[in-house]
Chains A and B, each alone.
Chain A
Amino acid sequence: MGKLNRSRGERGFVLLDVLAALAIALLGLTVFIGSLAGAGRIAIAQADRVVRTIEQRNADAETRVVTFPAE
């Protein structure tokens, strides 16, 4: 009993503690990278929406005049 206590006290963290700490750190990193990926997807979707909006407005501006049949 005393041997076990002494061993643990002198060896510092056991492997399980280290693994738990690494798992928590990894989880935090995953959440961080995941939120960045989400932000990236939103930015890309917004850029696509802007491009589509401008193209639609350009088409509206042009087709209101250029609606003649070819001469």
Chain B
Amino acid sequence: MRRRVLSRSRPSEQGFTLVEVLIGMAILSILGVGVWSGVTVALRTAERFHARALANARLLQLDDRFRECAGRILAPWWISGPSLSTTGGSWSVAWLDGDPKRKLVLSFSEGVLSVDDGAYVSRYPGLSSASLAAGLDGRNESLGMTLTVEGKDIGHKAIVARYGSAPVRTPEGS
């Protein structure tokens, strides 16, 4: 009996003791919590990167669409420039495709900017604010429009687009 007790007390033949198991579990728990929090932070960062990439892709699409529509504003030379009318969160410019009755309409509502050329409406979500103003050159003559948008993932951006009918001037002496 005495010999047996002695042999059982040898660590190499005892298996894990409760204390060893508890210490092992504690170490693994600490490691697990560390890894879990690291993975959580990494996933959140990846989500932010994804949202930012998506917002920038949308911004570039908006830029393309806005400039393309502005280029289709073709007012005759005898008027000083197409006038920009504002009603609430909506802006419109006449002389789309050279027709005084056709209008390019931009509207901003509930974080979504819509660009409507009468045939197709493009929507750009994820914006916190948007505003449209006339773009003027150094002589205070209308050259086009300035669209200012703001969003969480894109910051504050201004897009200056020329009207298709805006005259191209050359420097004096050239």
CA gap between A11 and B157 in the complex, in Å: 65
Chain B residues in 8 Å Cβ range of A64? 143, 162, 166, 168-169
Which of the residues B14, B38, B159, B167 comes within 8 Å of A10, measured between beta carbons?
B14
User: Interface size of A by Cβ–Cβ distance < 8 Å?
Assistant: 31
Chain B residues in 8 Å Cβ range of A47? 52-53, 56
- Where chain B touches its partner, the secondary structure class is mixed
A6 CB to nearest chain B CB (Å): 7
Interface string of A32-69 (1 = CB under 8 A from B): 11001001101100110011011001100110111111
B172 touches A62 (CB 8 A): no
Chain A residues in 8 Å Cβ range of B159? 54, 57-58
Which of the residues B16, B49, B166 comes within 8 Å of A43, measured between beta carbons?
B49
Q: Are A46 and B39 also in contact (CB < 8 A) when A11-B16, A61-B144, A65-B137 are? A: no
- Where chain A touches its partner, the secondary structure class is helix
Q: Which residues of B come within 8 Å of A, CB atoms?
A: 12-16, 35, 38-39, 42, 45-46, 49-50, 52-53, 56-57, 59-60, 63, 67, 135, 137-139, 141, 143-144, 157-162, 166-172
